[in-house]
Structure 1
Amino acid sequence: MEKSELVLYAIESDIIKKWHWFKYHFEFYSENREHPFAKSIIDSCLVCEDFIPGYAKKFIDDISQISGIDKKTNEKQSLKHYQQLFQRLAELLIIKQVVTYEWPENTKFFYEPTSGKSKKNPELVVELNKFKIGIEVKAPSLLDHIQKRNNNKIQATARNGLTDKFKENEEVTLPRDNPVKDFLISADQKYNSFKENEKCFYGILVIVWDDFIYEPITTLTDKFSGLFTQNSFAKNSNDETLKFENVDSVIIVRHLHQFGNAAGECPLINNCMDAMDFGSEGRSLPNVYVKNPASNGVPEGILECLRAYSPDEKMGAEYMPQDMVIWL
């Protein structure tokens, strides 16, 4: 597909025809100009198109449908759209990074596949000679949480006795951990049929967070309540700890803030070149790999692809679980 074709498809869509958070950025094309934010989206779609035919127009269709409601009409619904768009951008970011990695020859990619009778599907499955890797991408809604984090001096990051004392205190930011639990439940359900029907299948959940990466790390690994510990706050109806056995690992990518900065025409940080720049070894901050203790881990290739490492204190304080943060 030629870039001009995809650009025309975008400016004839509801991104332009209706109220849309990205309308301003894409309208530059109508004037024979190009906004860096829209360019990063269009260019990334075209890269993915080379590996997944039909992907580019489908992505434009997906984001164009999240339109029609501005803040003056319905602020709550409009902000929900804003965060849904970031979820789509997170998917694009990870899919582009995965398909462009130097996999062995004859590696195949399947977009939104299903397995068996199940209709539930992850974003992508990578098929290699001896095994398959499922990639499920999630991004949380953080606007309300960010506002509280910016305004409050105290942040409780894990569920423990201390957190319980803060529940009624509006001046304390409570853990944003339920989305991580929900993401794990969803991914576990999606990968169930793949695990049953494939000889060797690895299920990976990629969570795209903002720059405060200690938050999801704490949610997964905190010794008092971490979702990947025996003391997990996630229980079933029989009060048994949920194991999420179909999810072999979680990879956390610190990037949501880059989308916001790029869309708002603010400077990008951490040597990021544009909204869809995943970064590279030695130039960008590392991402995090958290193995599910109920699984056998994941192939090294996917960790290298996503620049993901087990959290270590040598990586910096933000890569370690925190009980509480006091902002000065």
Structure 2
Amino acid sequence: MWSTKINPADVPRPNKYVKNFKPMNKAQKIEATKLAIAECVFKKEQRHFLDFNFHNCTPFAQEFTELMCIMEELCPRSGLDFVKRIGSLQGESRSTYEQIVQALCELVIAKKFLDSYPVEQGFKLHWEPTENTKANPEFMIEGKDWRLLVEVKCPSLHDYDTKNQAAAYQVTARLPGVREIMMSVGGEEPALPLDNKVKDFLVSAEKKFSSFSDGVVPTYGLLVICWGERMFEAVTPLSNEACGLLKEPSYFEKNGAKVRFLRVSGVVVTQHQHFAQQMLAGHTPDHQKSCLHFGQYWEFNTPPNPVFLSNTYATRPLPKEFKDVLQTVNAGESLDPIANIMESVMWLHRPGMDQGME
């Protein structure tokens, strides 16, 4: 597996994982993390999706190990608990694969904020923090005079993508009459939006963010949705002016009243689920400097920027500096239609050619 630069016997053996990294130097921390990974990933009956990477010390394995050490140093138990979580995802089922993709998306987003708000400048990382209840977002970055709660969601899109590939028409928002029009034009059932899944993400984020006090220290709540390539599938249900979940005419009601998400300061939609899948297949996208790098988007021939969606009813709208960290453009302003607001899509299927979009 990994080459050993120090004697493993000199490293505190994981006592259901190492309890204290403080007395260790950097080499010892990395070696202790490797031991924890080996214990979690390899000492199982089933194969693990990542065992090739860890066994061959690929660039991903090295970067993952170093990030776990950084997290453990900044927030004790976070790194090794994450290793334990990854190690528990054994087997070769699609659901297991999707959970690994979800976990990697969380790491990519967390790493971007850690790079942007380093501890050397007085910022703090809190992993899976709680305050007034047990409900917790993925992590919190704490500054001198603010707190940012971040919840990362990565939906299962396989069945949905399969249906989309077979459908010539796609409805992307809950607009009256559009489905019927498409059925009359195409003569078949169009692919319907995943708006309820997006709605559930908002409900979950609102519950978690609401458990944190927002008094003396301004506390912001950011929901990051890591989608596939077709970002419009998540952008449209949130920001369509006629029914968007973050807009005044939202389709989501409870007891006859529109449901508002007061503690969600804003939502960012990215393509990182797609990027993580590419990376696991051995093809790290060119705009990413490394396997767990967030990516550069303001350069020629790069994917569309992540999309920021403002929440009309947020008690604390997200400050611009957090949007800039994720290199976002506002909903409706992307130059790439795949990241814009759409009401419907007609897919063109041509034998021997890639599918197109109108």
Distance in structure 2 (CA, Å) of the matches to 1:136 and 1:48:
17
Letter in 1 for 2:250: S
- Is 1:206–2:208 an aligned residue pair? no
Partner secondary structure for residue 211 of structure 2: helix
Change (3 A) 1:12 1:199: closer
- Range moving further from structure 2, 46-55 or 143-152: 46-55
Q: CA deviation at 1:212?
A: 1.1
Match of 1:82 among 97, 103, 114: 97
- Structure-2-length-normalised TM-score: 0.79
Is the CA contact 2:232–2:338 (under 8 Å) kept in the aligned structure 1?
yes
Partner secondary structure for residue 74 of structure 2: coil
**Aligned twin of 2:113:** 98
Deviations 1:12-63 (CA, angstroms, capped at 9, x unpaired): 214552324424424x52xxx3234434433433343343333221111011
Partner secondary structure for residue 194 of structure 1: coil
- Is 1:60–2:79 an aligned residue pair? no
| Displacement over 6 Å in runs of 4+ | none
**Aligned twin of 2:256:** 239
Is the CA contact 1:268–1:274 (under 8 Å) kept in the aligned structure 2?
yes
**Aligned twin of 2:327:** 307
- Range moving further from structure 2, 138-147 or 12-21: 12-21
Distance in structure 2 (CA, Å) of the matches to 1:275 and 1:268:
6
- Is 1:319–2:319 an aligned residue pair? no
Change (3 A) 1:214 1:17: same
**Aligned twin of 1:280:** 296
Letter in 2 for 1:301: E
Distance in structure 1 (CA, Å) of the matches to 2:334 and 2:248:
26
- Range moving further from structure 2, 181-190 or 54-63: 54-63
Is the CA contact 1:44–1:276 (under 8 Å) kept in the aligned structure 2?
no
Is the CA contact 1:48–1:99 (under 8 Å) kept in the aligned structure 2?
no
Change (3 A) 1:257 1:16: farther
- Is 1:158–2:176 an aligned residue pair? no
Residues 27-176 of structure 1 aligned to structure 2 (within 5 Å): 29=55, 33-67=56-90, 69-70=91-92, 78-102=93-117, 105-116=121-132, 118-165=133-180, 172-176=190-194
- Is 1:255–2:272 an aligned residue pair? yes
Change (3 A) 1:57 1:320: same
Deviations 1:123-176 (CA, angstroms, capped at 9, x unpaired): 112221222111111111111112222232222111112454369x87522112
Is the CA contact 1:48–1:96 (under 8 Å) kept in the aligned structure 2?
no
Aligned length: 313
Deviations 1:305-324 (CA, angstroms, capped at 9, x unpaired): 22222124453222321111
**Aligned twin of 2:353:** none
Is the CA contact 2:266–2:310 (under 8 Å) kept in the aligned structure 1?
yes
Q: CA deviation at 1:197?
A: 5.7
Change (3 A) 1:196 1:269: closer
Residues 177-196 of structure 1 aligned to structure 2 (within 5 Å): 177-195=195-213
Is the CA contact 2:332–2:341 (under 8 Å) kept in the aligned structure 1?
no
Q: CA deviation at 1:293?
A: 0.4
**Aligned twin of 1:73:** none
Letter in 2 for 1:106: G
Percent of aligned pairs sharing the same letter: 28
Distance in structure 1 (CA, Å) of the matches to 2:35 and 2:166:
42
Is the CA contact 1:51–1:99 (under 8 Å) kept in the aligned structure 2?
no
Is the CA contact 2:72–2:79 (under 8 Å) kept in the aligned structure 1?
yes
- Is 1:226–2:244 an aligned residue pair? yes
Letter in 2 for 1:205: L
Change (3 A) 1:312 1:10: same
Is the CA contact 2:241–2:247 (under 8 Å) kept in the aligned structure 1?
yes
**Based on CA coordinates, which of the two structures has the bigger radius of gyration?**
2
Is the CA contact 1:124–1:135 (under 8 Å) kept in the aligned structure 2?
yes
Is the CA contact 1:208–1:252 (under 8 Å) kept in the aligned structure 2?
yes
Distance in structure 1 (CA, Å) of the matches to 2:286 and 2:238:
25
Letter in 2 for 1:161: P
Distance in structure 1 (CA, Å) of the matches to 2:64 and 2:292:
7
Partner secondary structure for residue 261 of structure 1: helix
Distance in structure 1 (CA, Å) of the matches to 2:61 and 2:213:
38
Distance in structure 2 (CA, Å) of the matches to 1:327 and 1:268:
28
- Ranges in structure 1 where 5+ consecutive residues have no aligned partner: 71-77
